[in-house]
Structure 1
């Protein structure tokens, strides 16, 4: 008995995503909302703890900084909506096996990004522009949910990869 070749099985409809994966994917989208609203408030001129001089000189607000800060908020929210595609029953990529490594890469980048942000938070003097007290507390509550995103994204990615494993059929030839 010899093994001759392997070929993928015909694409069967994958099983639906579990409820917890749906909730985790939607939670990722919700985690980006508070920081996005904080950024939009900052761009709109609402006092978020930065003085007028800091807004002008450091962040370019008013001016180009408004487009940058609002654009960052919009891009962050769009990126946070992408995991919803991994659990959607309506969207079927043509090659689901390609998406899993991409999602794992995104999970790894998010974990490294979150760790680097924690290092920056505790080592760099960048938060010294922000007024202490209530503004720092509001800032903390606005950005704290982003720390949950790497773990949630990893869970959603794991669920997606588990449901879309490429099944391989082995043809066996008997002599």
Structure 2
């Protein structure tokens, strides 16, 4: 909000309200900043693979599976793949807030929240929940789900399977990286309440 201020000449102008200072929180250690950046990058390869698939690039699917997807790509299947990739990347991007000042005070341009301090638990609880879910999904994929899917006759094989595996493998690290960064954020932000 801004308030009306009258200067020495008697003319009125609007003065911007002072931005609340970020709470006194120690900066994130280097390892946490690097882990947050790595968490962001874990979603990029699968997103690029998914977008290519959504635009109809042949990625190795055959038979009935290929036919089911081919009739919708390009089309609503393309939109689905692009939106899913953008959503994953956006959620991964939020990890950076745990190591940056905008994780303590919301940027001004965000409607309704801009300029307000972020309560630590409002970031910690969803981030930890996301970390647990992502770690579970990644572990389940490594312990059998991935191999089972690749064993399907219509699934990619050979080089196409290797490319798909390399694109999705980084997602396994997303949950643990998010968890580590979240625990550091909790340590730094909850410490000031003592």
C-alpha separation in 2, matches of 1:167 and 1:16: 13
Relative contact order (alpha carbons < 8 A, sep ≥ 6): 1 or 2 greater?
A: 1
Where structure 1 has 5 or more consecutive residues not aligned to the other structure, the ranges are 1-10, 170-175
Contact between 2:150 and 2:156, CA under 8 Å: does it hold in 1?
Answer: no
Equivalences for 1:44-59 in 2 at 5 Å? 44-51=55-62, 54-58=65-69
Q: 1:97 to 1:166 in 2, by over 3 A?
A: farther
Q: 1:53 to 1:23 in 2, by over 3 A?
A: same
Equivalences for 1:7-156 in 2 at 5 Å? 12-51=23-62, 54-58=65-69, 60-93=72-105, 94=117, 95-118=119-142, 119-124=144-149, 127-156=152-181
After superposing on structure 2, the runs of 4+ consecutive aligned residues of structure 1 that deviate more than 6 Å are none
Number of residue-to-residue matches in the alignment: 159
TM-score by length of 1: 0.79
C-alpha separation in 2, matches of 1:157 and 1:27: 14
Where structure 2 has 5 or more consecutive residues not aligned to the other structure, the ranges are 1-21, 106-116
Question: What is the SS of the residue equivalent to 2:125?
Answer: helix
Structure that is richer in helix per residue: 1
